[in-house]
Amino acid sequence: MEQAEIGLIGLGVMGSNLALNIAEKGNKIAVFNRSPEATKKFFAEAGALQGQIIPCETLEEFVAAIRPPRPIIIMIKAGEPVDQQMELLKPYLDAGDIMIDAGNANFRDTIRRFDSLKDSPLTFIGMGVSGGEEGARHGPSIMVGGTEESWKRVEKVLTSISAKFNGDPCVAWLGNDGAGHFVKTIHNGIEYADMQMIAEIYGILRDGLKLSASEIGQVFGRWNEGRLNSYLIEITEKVLAASDPVTGKPMVDMILDAAGQKGTGKWSVIEAQNLGVAATGIEAAVAGRILSSQKAEREAAEKILGLPQTVPMPGTDGLSFLDDLENALLAAKIGAYAQGFAVMAAASKEYGWNLPMPTIARIWRAGCIIRSQFLDEITSAFTKDPDTANLIVTPAFSKLVQETDGALRRVVSTAVMSGLPVPALSSALAYFDSYRRGRGTANLIQAQRDFFGAHGFDRVDGVDKHHGPWGSGLNS
């Protein structure tokens, strides 16, 4: 019997869809699930693709069904289950075989797993897959981390199943060990920020301008035809147009205002802080989700504190404020992407990955959740200057920021005066204002630190450093 080109363990929703995608693109695939019934069910429902699938009931049978060196995708719950599955696989593997974690893994776990195999004949790939269930089935954006040799073994298959942007495959090898999963983590962090910013604009339209869900959906629909064109804006229009089949009311109004999270946004914030990079938009988004989950506390606080005294929100006469909202969202999104790429640039140096920034922007143009029109412009900006300090100082994006900065300032100030929370939008404005200001206020912080514990400070005239304890106390 002809051997499979690749294997996959874990036939949940994501694993099943990815396996069908692989089979549909002409690649023979062996599949295994710890529950034989799930394997049988998957195979029975594969229809015309059954000829490309080898269902296996034991790990020994599964490994034997794959052409060496064997690439094996593990698509199960992240964390300890992946370690356990790797240990179960090892006795059946041969030199050169590759275990591939395609889940939402913490890149530190990926580095650990990669290092644990360094002295063995086996190797490991950490593979970020973006696009959700739909992407897995029809074409995701794929971010690969591992040895270049192991990448070359899977390149043909992964290229065939990836999303395509104008024929260009949205998959790339990004570097060693945890590079792929780190980039996927930051992708998700940007996604958190993007979603939070969209929600804040929705809040202004709903609570400030008193528009209905349907009317707000139409606004997002118009925006999706312009510079804000993106997957998240597109689905926002669809979500706001949907009706609850039970009540007939807008579906969005029937959903509890408490957002969940799976951890990747939090990891993005932690790693940004560890690397000393300001990622305030992602931080605000994670904090926003945490506050949203505290529904009972928020309701109790409203009864005690009441809502703030506010000034009226401006009307929509002439649609000028709607134009400001559109431009403010564009500015804030640019800030979130700039912060995400700055975090990746710092990680690239820290971990020796040499992350290809233009390539990352390129493979995010289709298949992934944060795909948007201006990723083409980001690709171009990093191609012209791959070592730029920050996206917002490149010619194209500095111009965009200058064009939209005023709208962001007006929207944030209007929302604040109207008592509407806009933590991510305001964090973007503060980020721009802090980054563009040559002389800040940290000199006072340094003076305070010196007073507390004789830390010393750098003089603006470069003469010397002062090291005299003005007092003793906290080490801040």
Q: Which residues contact 406 (CB under 8 A, 6 or more apart)?
A: none
Complete DSSP assignment for 144-182: EES-HHHHHHHHHHHHHHS-EETTEESEEEEESTTHHHH
Task: Classify the C-alpha dihedral 467-470-471-475 as positive or negative.
Answer: negative
CA–CA separation, 394 vs 22, rounded Å?
39
CA 58 to CA 39: how far, in whole Å? 11
If we measure between CA atoms, which residue out of 186, 181, 10 comes closest to residue 82?
10
Catalytic residue chosen out of the listed positions 184, 200, 271, 326? 184
The SS3 assignment for 230 reads strand
Whether residue 191 lies in the annotated active site: yes
How distant is the alpha carbon of residue 3 from its chain centre?
A: 36
Catalytic residue from among 191, 271, 326, 377 = 191
**58 burial class (0-12, 13-18, 19+ CB within 10 angstroms)?**
exposed
Would you say how long the chain is, in residues? 476
Give the Cα separation of 60 and 359 in Å (integer): 38
Angle between helices 320-351 and 395-417 (to 10 degrees): 120
Q: Is 184 annotated as catalytic?
A: yes
Instruction: Considering only CA atoms, give the Rg of the chain.
Output: 25
Residue 273 to residues 277, 282, 342, 425, Cα–Cα distance (Å): 6, 11, 12, 20
> How many whole angstroms from its chain centre is CA 264?
7
Residue 70 near residue 94 (C-beta atoms within 8 A): yes
**Rounded to whole angstroms, how far apart are CA atoms 69 and 100?**
13
Report the catalytic residues: 184, 191
